[in-house]
Amino acid sequence: MKESIIQKSIHFLESIKILFNVDIYNKNIIKNIFVFSLFFIIFFGFTGKAFAATYYVDSVLGNDANNGTSINSAWKTISKVDSYTFNPGDQILFKRGDTWDGNNSNTLYAESGTAGNYITYGAYGVGDKPILTSSITRNETNDWEYEGKNIWASSNDISNAVYGPEMVLNPSFDSSLDNWNTYLDLQKGIVGTVSRATTTGDFYSSPAGYKLDVTTGGSSYTDIQTYISNMSIDFNKYYVLSFYTKASNDFDAKVLFMKSTYPYTIYQSNGNGYTVNITNEWVKHSFYFRSNVTASDLRINLDFGLVPNNTSIYLDSVSLKEIDLNRNEGILDSDVGNMIMSDKTKFGVKVWNESDLDTQGKYWYDAANNIIKIYSISNPVSYYGDIRMALNSLIINGTNTSYVIYDGLHLFAGGSLGIGGSDNSNIIIRNCDVSYIGGGDQVQYKVRYGNGIQFWRSAHDIYVYNNNLWQIYDAAISPQGNGDTPSSIYNLYFYNNVIRDAEYGIEFWERPAGTTVKNVHFENNTIVNSGGGWAHNQRPNSKNGRSLMFYYNPADNEGIFIRNNIFLNATESLIRVSSNSNWLATTTMNYNYFHNPMGYFVDFLGSNYTKLSDWNSLSGGLDLNSEEKDPLISNLSSNNFTLQQFSPAIDSGTNTGLSTDYAGNPIYGVPDIGAYEYQPPYTIGTNKVPTTGSIRIYSNGKYRMKTATSTAVTADFSVTPSGGNYLATTSQYMDITINKWETTGNKNKEWTASSSSGEFKTHATSTTYAVGDLIPNTYYLFKIDGAASTTAINNNSQCTNGICLSSSSGKIDFTYIGGYSTHTFDIEKYATSPSVPVIEGTSKEKISQGASLTFSHASSTIGIAKYQLYVDGILEEDNISRSAESVSLPRTYKCNEKHKWNIEAVDNNGNKTSSNESDFSIPCGAVSIVVNVPRNDIRTQFTNQKTASSTHKTSHVKDVTKQQNLTSTQVSAILSLLKSFGANNNVVKAVREALDSATTPNKNISFVFTTNLEMNDVGTQVKLLQEYLNAHGVAVSSKGYGSPGKETMYFGQATYHALVRYQKENGLPPTGWFGPMTRKLIEERVGV
């Protein structure tokens, strides 16, 4: 029985005793606990969450005597779970890797939570999902008894059973018909009379029996009922019912154990009851049943409605007793829907009559003796190995429940339903496996049945998703219903489920007329091989393999959605509309993929059609955006239902509001069709892009091949949003097709990029491209849609006005700012002559041997690879840096003569552009040297004494500086002059040290460096470095940006070369990197 509130209170008090080490039986302490408990209930009890707990069930190490509230004190059986009354918010968790089957457990009867406080049936631990099954095993050879002629019977040894007292009042009608009732459906015209049978032959045991004379019989079992009520039974106990019958005409009747009053709930684990054949001879009928409830209103119902007209029915010696046994003793209190052999490739074949047992594997359920008989040429265990029998009872019964979650369970081998129930609301079924379900006898029609997940009649706010269902006798998923009064069905969502080898993937119908159906969704499911399961060839009627089964549906339907599903392979047809089709007018069915090489496309009102276009027409325009093609599932034979990389189902669906797929993966771009969303396997910047085929990039930087590549050659190519970072989202970003990727010759490149705005799309704006596999140190021209552009890409250290210089590794980075729809981009080797450099100075200028000749950069350095110095028409200096602004005379020239000189700019293709010519002269002997200093036009005179020692020069400079109090600019000019005289680095260093002490410092500058610097860095520290170099004799630039007073925050080529000169002159490695060694030297000099 369910645990009472008193028992829970005792558990609560025991917990207080343990937690606080108090004597709970002390009167004062009890009083305080009572007050505390009352306060706790008042303030917290009404939420439901205050008492929510987690309970653990372990089929191996558990014990039902435990409290179940920890892993180490877990319960053992489902019977214990069923006996307990849970609070809203409680969790009941089954251990992964364990199995609960009919040998030691029974149907799980779910309980309801409340809004916001669902009761959860889930899993804990590691390993496979916990298996709940309503099956039993008969795996020992002594479980089977040989009856001859290759017939074997399951053993039924109840010799040690203990029987309880008789429970039926007036079992033999000896003196009256008291306690017995008879129902005749008068509205159907049933006519009959009841009496005590006292004539010899009309009773089985003297002195009397029960007699029912039927003049007009019925059309269903329940039209005529004889019953006795209000007997008490206990949960999970076994009972044996026996009685004797005969009749003047043979017919079948049904026996049920049920609630005495409406709604006449079934009280037996075999929810469909038992059939009996009544003949003109007295026959004893015996049934063992297991109670699924503790109740005091049991009703034994004998349904005689199928009796022929003018028939007399006799009943006598009715007995009901409790019996102490379990299924391990061989009692099968339920029909067997399926026999599953050890390797799950062989199955028993159910027959209806014992006489049909004539072929290996055929079996028959002997309801009178509660056993199975099977035809086998040897002991069934020897022939098959393990044998599991799926009993005709639900694995989970969720009737009249709400606010329940089923999560991560495996419902296996049940002869009825996996999860079933009527009148449900707020139910979540997710991440569950449901397999090998159904095959049991529906009794009334001698028709087998069994659905994986079923909701009967009223249902609303139902969510069934991310489940895997296979090998189902009838439908994997089915909302359906019928009854005398209309019901209401709304807000049902079935999505991201994988279904295979079920007779029907989805079955849907609601009756009677007046039933309302609204907002029912079947979306993003993958349904494969309908009719391909164990049951198909055992169906007694015509085969019925369909992905979608629509039976007669007279309900008022509004808003049925069937979208984004894959329907692949069905033995008969992908769709069947069996009768009325008017409900299709309110159905949205679109964006589905159909493929059926096995059978027809649709069976519409009894006629078969082969094409999607037929269905479009017959349905009044459904599935107009659907496709009839192979969705390219990864591997059907291994049950891998993910999509192949070129599946047409990728990005072909419509928005159904989902953010993840069956496996929990994100939706990329437009949703795919089916339960699995294809996951792009590559990442921009990590995986190289093939040079043929097209790719689709998503907003997180992942990409997939959109069309196949024809070569293994890959491109050094990437694209990122401006700023370099992709988003955390997974919308569609850009499609790219590489049109040309030359790897020899000019190594030109071309690609087409498309990006647009819309749902599931992130519209690309500014993007940064990194294009490699180019000729190193070579200029390339940027083109968009066939035309060169000077404004579509930003200027940077490599690109100016649409012309870019590749790096030493043959790579160009640029940012495209022109916006997107669809554009074709080209990077072509640049072949135009470079701009003209300009020479400073005049022909009157007189210089010394080794002096520097100054010139200005060309108006644009784009295309310039280097400069060359020509003197008197002779190439005197090659490979002058394109960032240089001066060049020293490389040799001795005749004095007192004019010499012509010019600078030529050279591009990577060898094209040259010459500056205008200028001239210089070198006076003979000691002369006064005039040095042009770009800033402030300062002139300082020194006597050229090239043979003087460095010490002499240094002391001389000190004397001068003491007198002159030189500025930093003047010091720079002096050091440049020394270099022009050919002074070595030691001399220059010594002079600088001497000058530093006399230089007038800039009182506003504090040379404190806090970070390392390198090429392309930007910031105030870069500007400070330029100021230091300018102030200490190594000018960044003689004029313009970088020159004294015009320092910038960009670390470019000029800063790099100035820093290299400074490092050389001070005995440091000339790396051009402003690191710890250089910083330390400066700190020592400025006294930091």
pLDDT tens digit string along 703-737?
A: 999 999 999 999 999 999 988 899 999 999 999 99
Residues 6+ apart with CB under 8 A from 872: 899, 900, 901
* Residues 815 and 880 grouped into a single domain: no
Residue 533's pLDDT is what?
96
Residue 636 is assigned to a structural domain of this protein = no
Of 829, 854, 881, the position where a domain reaches its end is 829
Residue 1072's pLDDT is what?
86
pLDDT of 739 > 80? The answer is yes
Residue 76's pLDDT is what?
95
The CATH number of residue 910's host domain is: 2.60.40.10
* Residues 319 and 233 grouped into a single domain: yes
* Residues 758 and 884 grouped into a single domain: no
Region 254-277: mean pLDDT is 84
Domain count within the chain = 6
Q: Give the CA dihedral 771, 773, 778, 779, nearest 10 degrees.
A: -30
Residue 169 pLDDT level (bands cut at 50, 70, 90): very high
Burial of 531 (0-12, 13-18, 19+ CB in 10 A): buried
* Residues 226 and 282 grouped into a single domain: yes
Residue 313 is assigned to a structural domain of this protein = yes
Residue 519 is assigned to a structural domain of this protein = no
The phi-psi region of residue 637 (left if phi > 0; otherwise alpha if psi is between -120 and 50; otherwise beta) is alpha
Range of the domain at 1063: 956-1086
Burial of 859 (0-12, 13-18, 19+ CB in 10 A): exposed
* Residues 179 and 143 grouped into a single domain: no
* Residues 171 and 298 grouped into a single domain: yes
Neighbours of 522 (CB within 10 A): 26
SS3 716: coil
Residue 845 pLDDT level (bands cut at 50, 70, 90): low
Residue 97's pLDDT is what?
97
272, 205 contact by CB (below 8 A): no
Residue 891's pLDDT is what?
82
pLDDT tens digit string along 208-238?
A: 999 999 999 999 999 999 999 999 998 878 8
**Short-list 636, 639, 626, CA closest to 673:** 626
- Which token pair is 914? 């010459």
Q: How far is CA 223 from CA 270, 273, 302, 316, in A?
A: 22, 16, 11, 21
Residue 483 is assigned to a structural domain of this protein = no
* Residues 140 and 171 grouped into a single domain: no
Residue 543 is assigned to a structural domain of this protein = no
Residue 411: φ, ψ to 5°:
-100, 115
**Short-list 990, 983, 972, 955, CA closest to 851:** 983
Q: How far is CA 684 from CA 207, 393, 723, in A?
A: 94, 54, 15
Question: Which of 608-617, 674-683, 854-863 is the least confident region?
Answer: 854-863
Burial of 1013 (0-12, 13-18, 19+ CB in 10 A): buried
Neighbours of 571 (CB within 10 A): 20
* Residues 688 and 823 grouped into a single domain: yes
Residue 447 is assigned to a structural domain of this protein = no
364, 353 contact by CB (below 8 A): yes
Residues 6+ apart with CB under 8 A from 397: 107, 108, 109, 110, 292, 420, 421
The CATH number of residue 1053's host domain is: 1.10.101.10
Residue 1042 is assigned to a structural domain of this protein = yes
The CATH number of residue 168's host domain is: 2.60.120.260
Residue 961: φ, ψ to 5°:
-65, -35
* Residues 823 and 854 grouped into a single domain: no
Most confident by average pLDDT, 145-159, 239-253, 1071-1085: 239-253
Of 389, 407, 428, the position where a domain reaches its end is 389
Q: Give the CA dihedral 642, 647, 651, 655, nearest 10 degrees.
A: -60
The percent of residues above 70 in pLDDT, for the chain, comes to: 84
pLDDT of 952 > 70? The answer is no
* Residues 172 and 309 grouped into a single domain: yes
> What span, in angstroms and rounded, lies between the C-alpha atoms of 879 and 867?
6
Q: How far is CA 729 from CA 200, 649, 651, 697, 1027, in A?
A: 87, 21, 16, 12, 45
* Residues 180 and 286 grouped into a single domain: yes
pLDDT of 896 > 60? The answer is yes
Of 888, 906, 927, the position where a domain reaches its end is 927
* Residues 347 and 292 grouped into a single domain: no
pLDDT of 957 > 80? The answer is no
> What span, in angstroms and rounded, lies between the C-alpha atoms of 849 and 981?
7
Residue 104's pLDDT is what?
62
Residue 332 pLDDT level (bands cut at 50, 70, 90): confident
Burial of 338 (0-12, 13-18, 19+ CB in 10 A): buried
Residue 59 is assigned to a structural domain of this protein = no
> Do β-strands 498-510 and 468-481 pair in parallel, antiparallel, or remain unpaired?
parallel
Q: Which residues of 204-243 are buried (b: 16+ CB within 10 A; e: fewer)?
A: beeebbbbbebebbbeebbbbbbbbbebebebbebbbbeb
321, 29 contact by CB (below 8 A): no
Residue 585: φ, ψ to 5°:
-65, -25
